[in-house]
Structure 1
Amino acid sequence: MTLASATAKGIFLTSGVLYFTEVVHLDPLDVGLGLSAAGIVSMGLGVLAGRLADRIGPWPVLMASLLVSAAATAAFLLVQGAVSFLAVVVVAMAAQGVLLVARGPIINAIGGTSAQELRAYVRAVTNVGITAGAALAGWAVHQDTVEAYRLLVAADSVFFLVAAGLALRLPRPKPVPALPGPRWTALRDRPYLAVAALDGVLSIQYRVLTVAVPLWIIGHTDAPRWTVSGAVVLNTVIIVALQVRLSRGVDAPRTAGRALRRAGATLGVASTLIACVSLVPAHQAVLLLALGIALHSLGEIWQAAGGFELSNDLAPPHALGQYLGVFGIGMGLAESFAPALLTWLCLGYGVPGWLAVGALFVITGALAPAVVRRAEATRTHSTRATAVPGPASAT
């Protein structure tokens, strides 16, 4: 299911902007504003969807998100202006955000005490799917015809339908009864919000590879242009090969806090190396860039493993969906504002800007263990200990 839905996401991430600008002929500014608005709506809806998943169970929410994603993606073919684009893209991105929120409790239900390892496998498969989607999008971009782009949109919708069909075989965890007290406990949990904020800052690293690195390579270094795609391939290979192995020891809040610290330090060193690519000739630039991307990928693995463990283990079992929705706000904000921040610092100030980004990662990671200890001290539960070990109904 993850492979199919991630392939659909890879198609959208790689070719969505080109489809709306080249085929629908929308102004790039309108597309950018629409995607930003959709991201903001997606963050808010994720919290609501998380609470709904707690009350009715995560599987119906997951299934609805896949079906709505398929319908909204197909509706891209009907977009004719900025207004219809905004309406459709908001629904599509919100549905994909809900998918991630609903998937978390199901992973916990299947994985039980080994949920972290299962999550690592899922993330490795996600990278394979996104890469496959990007390859399909590359075919359409190479063809550069209206028919090719429209066929790609149709394929995107079909992949979501395939994912929905496969989701029929997933376990269906039972709803968790609500406890007396305030409804929106996650929004009142300051230690948890602090952890989510730190993870959100470290999540800026996702846009380093997709926004800052390509523009830096092309406009500020002597590295060959093919290294833009080579960086993505190297990142994918490392994550697929090492995500499961490096995630196995991240099985408690304190080990997760230390994983975020390692992530921050590694991402900081990677940013410094990538900055230095502009200071060396082409043949050295390739080697230095490869080393920087490899370290960045390790930091990404540790950040993903630590974030998943903390988002789940620090959340009360009766409100896991709500808490996961709130935790996702940090990453959502990072993905929304990181492109502008990275462009301003890395491209506007060059090497000093890259060093500033690296320092931000290092400082954030260094703060993580202490913030996690404070959050853990306020907990009286363990999600892992109460995770549903199997499906609520036979499959």
Structure 2
Amino acid sequence: MRIRGSAVLPASGAQRALALATLASSTGKGIFLTAGVLYFIRVVHLPAMEIGVAFSIAGFVSLFLGVPAGHVADRRGPRAVFVASLLLSAAATGAFLLVHASWSVLLVVVLATVAQATLLVARGPIINDIADGRPQELRAYIRSVTNVGIAVGAMAAGWAAQADTTPAYHRLILLNCACFLVALLPAFRIPRTEIVEAPEQTRGRWAALRDRPYLALSLLDGVLSIQYRVLTVALPLWVVSATSAPRWVISAAVVVNTAMIILLQVAVGRRVDTPRRAALALRRSGWAFCAACAAVAWAAGSPAWAAVALLGAAVVVHSVGELWQAAGGFEVSNVLAPRHAIGQYLGVFGIGMGLAESFGPALLTWLCIGWGKPGWHVMGALFLAAGLAAPAVVRWAESTRARYAPGADLPPAGKPAALSSEAV
């Protein structure tokens, strides 16, 4: 694979197809995430509480359907599931124009959210299959492309929100649907993945749910994934309610974070290519999130210039932690899963992220906003504890692959896969 320097697209045709499909679909996702709630409130005229409940239910439904979707990808091929997810996304978002009652809003939101979750589950095995031996680099590149698409989608949604008219929101929904339909064109150019038969001793359908070390890693990554809501939920509320910093800091934080992910994820990801390095990356991310939480906490009560400096430093350190966490999570979730059940395992790994998405905003609001400075330090300590625990759990998972996941694609003996106590 060649993703170097100023190259915009990879050299491989299959990789280019996946990148273009990801760019288009993530633009649609950016529109959905940014303007979905606004559309149902401003156009369908439903109460905000009902919309919040609908999105929460959708999150929980997608949480439990990830594993079955991954199993289907393992048995029928991930490209088929990827294409089906794009079709469902287009149909569900297009159906936004037809809903007029709470039950119909709930239905389309559930379908759209499930489709997005399934898309991610199917994309993992595709990356492993077309990465030309460098899946870490391709995963990082695809994550950068995803952030570009979400940013573009968010800007389009911002235009509709500024206009705040029914025709503007309708055009935005049509654009959202079109993004997923456009993504189908390159998706059909992605080659079919060869189905890997399960070893005789692992014929059980839900082997991933019985893999306790892998489940533990999923939960640890879920704790660390609460960080995704720090800059979008806790920081804005903190800036407004507890600091003297100007409010433009809120949008600047998102811009800086997005730029760092787009520009640096490939460089970081290509270095995290063994379970050992992934565990170290997860541990570093815990330290980074802890330090960032402390800096945010101390911005309260500081002069405006000091608050801006502290918050700026916190955003940069937090973003570095996000780069490490994403790279480490990508590596352990894939390399510790058996090839015959990679989709099912990625569905299980997504449970941690799903729990973070569901409970993270409430936890951050309760701790960091409700409790104030001590709450930020408690949250930082929670991030640190998860990061420090990661190396031991990765060692446990590595040592039990023969029992839980024969066929896992662990690095060959020449690579530093095992984690020594001294190394961590």
* Normalised-by-shorter TM-score class: over 0.9
Partner of 2:347: 325
**Contact kept? 2:336, 2:410, Cα under 8 Å:** no
Q: Of 359, 364, 367, which aligns to 2:389? A: 367
Structure 1: how far apart are the matches of 2:198 and 2:40?
A: 43
In the alignment, which of 101, 116, 137 is matched to residue 136 of structure 2? 116
Q: Secondary structure at the match of 2:300?
A: helix
Q: Which amino acid aligns with 1:349?
A: W
CA displacement 1:8-27 (0-9 Å, x = unmatched): 11111111111111111111
Q: Distance in 2 between matches of 1:134 and 1:354?
A: 28
CA distance in 2, matches of 1:111, 1:37: 35
User: Are 1:10 and 1:129, in contact at CA under 8 Å, matched by a contact in 2?
Assistant: yes
Question: CA offsets per residue over residues 192-214 of structure 1, 9 Å max, x none?
Answer: 11111101110000011111111
Give the C-alpha shift of residue 378 in structure 1. 0.8
Matched, 1:223 2:245: yes
Q: Deviations over 1:280-303 (max 9, x none)?
A: 121222221111000110111111
1:104 matches 2:124: yes
TM-score by length of 1: 0.96
Post-superposition CA distance 1:276-323 (Å, at most 9, x none): 111212122222111100011011111111011011011011111100
Which residue of 2 is the match for residue 72 of structure 1? 92
**Secondary structure, counterpart of 1:242 in structure 2:** helix
Please give the secondary structure, in 2, of the residue aligned with 1:173.
coil
Q: Is the 8 A contact 2:274 2:411 kept in 1?
A: no
- TM norm structure 2: 0.89
Instruction: Give the match for residue 3 of structure 1.
Output: 23
Give the residue type in structure 1 aligned to 2:93.
T
Asked if 2 retains the 8 angstrom alpha-carbon contact of 1:55 and 1:178, the reply is no
Which of residues 186, 190, 193 in structure 2 aligns to 1:170?
190
Number of aligned residue pairs: 386
Contact 1:116 1:308 in 2 (8 A): yes
> Which AA in structure 2 matches 1:92?
A
Partner of 1:392: none
Distance 2:372 2:132 in 1: 46
Q: Which has the higher contact order (CA 8 A, sep 6+)?
A: 1
Alignment of 1:112-261 (within 5 A): 112-180=132-200, 181-261=203-283
> Which residue of 20, 23, 44 corresponds with 2:64?
44
1:378 paired residue number: 400
- Does the 8 Å CA contact 1:57/1:176 hold for their aligned counterparts? no
CA distance in 2, matches of 1:161, 1:218: 40
Pairing partner for 2:335 from 307, 313, 321: 313
**Runs of 5+ in structure 2 lacking a partner?**
1-20, 413-424
Q: What letter matches 2:315 in structure 1?
A: I
Matched-pair contact (CA < 8 Å) for 1:113–1:384: no
Please tell me whether residue 262 in structure 1 is matched to residue 284 in structure 2: yes
DSSP 3-state at the match of 1:113: coil
1:107–1:119 contact (8 Å) kept in structure 2: yes
1:14 equivalent in structure 2: 34
For residues 331-363 of structure 1, what are the alpha-carbon distances to aligned partners after superposition, in whole Å with 9 as ceiling and x for unaligned? 001101101101111110111111111000011
- Secondary structure of 1:383 counterpart: coil
Counterpart Cα distance in 2 of 1:228 and 1:79 = 33
Aligned CA RMSD, in angstroms, stands at 1.2
Structure 1: gaps (5+ residues): 387-395
* Matched residue SS, 1:369: helix
Deviation at 1:150, TM superposition (A): 1.1
Alignment-derived partner of residue 277 in structure 1:
299
Cα distance in 2 between the residues matched to 1:271 and 1:165: 43
CA contact (8 A) 1:112 1:384 kept: no
Q: For 1:289, which of 311, 330, 347 is the aligned residue?
A: 311
